[in-house]
Amino acid sequence: EGLAIRSATKVTEEILKGATNLKIIGRAGIGTDNIDKLAATLGLEVKYDISDSINKQYQSKGDNTENILDFFG
């Protein structure tokens, strides 16, 4: 299972411990400071897509969703 998030979403230790089937977290934007560092100790893959931040004025919401979904497949 995967979790797709934006900058306002906080992925806490409580969420991570409850998501026993979680394999990957994908974040639209730059950085991973809103993801609890427990993810690294659980062996989860954490990725982010900077194209949302760099090309925001040129991308539609559908393009951004497609970029996030590329993380999972």
Q: Which parts of the chain have pLDDT scores under 70?
A: 50-68, 71-73
Residue 10 has a pLDDT of 92
pLDDT score of 45: 87
The per-residue pLDDT for 11 is 93
Whole-number pLDDT of residue 71:
64
Over residues 34-52, the pLDDT tens digits come to: 999 888 788 888 888 766 5
Determine contact, residues 65/42, Cβ cutoff 8 Å.
no
Q: How would you classify residue 31: left for phi > 0, otherwise alpha for psi between -120 and 50, otherwise beta?
A: left
The strand order across the sheet containing 24-28 reads 2-5, 24-28, 45-49
pLDDT of residue 49: 77
